[in-house]
Amino acid sequence: MTSSSPLDTLIEQARQARDQAGHSLAEARRGQQNTAAQLSTLENYRNEYASRLQDALARGMDTLTLNTYRRFLASLDQAIEQARQVLCEQQRAIDAGQDHWRQRQQRLSSFDTLATRRQQQQQHREHRQERRQTDDIASNLHQRRLPGTAT
């Protein structure tokens, strides 16, 4: 049965931190995908509405209706611009999240490497000790035989 060492604790904490960074990154990506979908919807709606305005202008319309169309298109343009800004902010957050995840992964990898080295060193010590014990047993057997063969 293995006991939990401080290194095992550090590895587990590093793994949890890496996993949390991954979850945060995934959440940021989902948010960006949602914003991109909203932006696409707004742009499509704006294009559709501008097309309706062109059709209405071709048929003729009064000034009040024209001004209503223009105000609505301006509000759509503003919403589109805001969505683009949010998308840029989300991309920066994703980039930062990727860096954070990479740092957490690197920390975990470092601890894993250290644990592997310690395990290899322990195995090497155990093998060396086993060889010594085997050599001692062989030496003792050899010494026991020597006096017996001399008589």
Q: Which domain holds residue 131?
A: 13-150
Position 151 pLDDT exceeds 60: no
Please identify which residue in the block is written with the tokens 């589109």: 80
The count of structural domains within the chain is 1
pLDDT of residue 99: 98
Position 7 pLDDT exceeds 50: yes
- 12-56 pLDDT per residue, tens: 999 999 999 999 999 999 999 999 999 999 999 999 999 999 999
Distance between CA 120 and CA 143 in Å, rounded? 34
The verdict on residue 6 lying in a domain is: no
What CATH number should be reported for the domain holding residue 32?
A: 1.10.287.1700
pTM: 0.73
The verdict on residue 1 lying in a domain is: no
The verdict on residue 4 lying in a domain is: no
The verdict on residue 73 lying in a domain is: yes
